[in-house]
Amino acid sequence: MRSLDEAAFLRCVTRQSYSGYELVGAFIDGELIGLLGMRPVHTLARGAFLHVDDLVVAERHRGSGAGRALMDYAEADARARDMNWVFLDAKPDAVTFYEQRDYVLHPAPSMKKAL
- CB burial class (10 A; 0-12, 13-18, 19+) of residue 78? buried
- CB burial class (10 A; 0-12, 13-18, 19+) of residue 105? exposed
pLDDT digits (tens, 9 = 90+) for 8-37: 878 887 888 878 999 999 999 999 999 999
Number of domains making up the chain: 1
R_g (Cα) of the chain, nearest Å:
15
113 within domain boundaries: no
Q: Which domain holds residue 40?
A: 6-99
CATH number at residue 31: 3.40.630.30
The residue-averaged pLDDT of 29-57 equals 95
The residue-averaged pLDDT of 53-64 equals 94
pTM here is 0.85
What pLDDT was estimated at residue 107? Answer: 78
Return left, alpha or beta for 47; rule: phi > 0 is left, psi -120 to 50 is alpha, else beta.
Answer: left
93 within domain boundaries: yes
Position 1 confidence tier, pLDDT thresholds 50, 70, 90: low
pLDDT digits (tens, 9 = 90+) for 81-109: 999 999 998 999 999 999 999 999 987 78
84 within domain boundaries: yes
The residue-averaged pLDDT of 35-64 equals 95
106 within domain boundaries: no
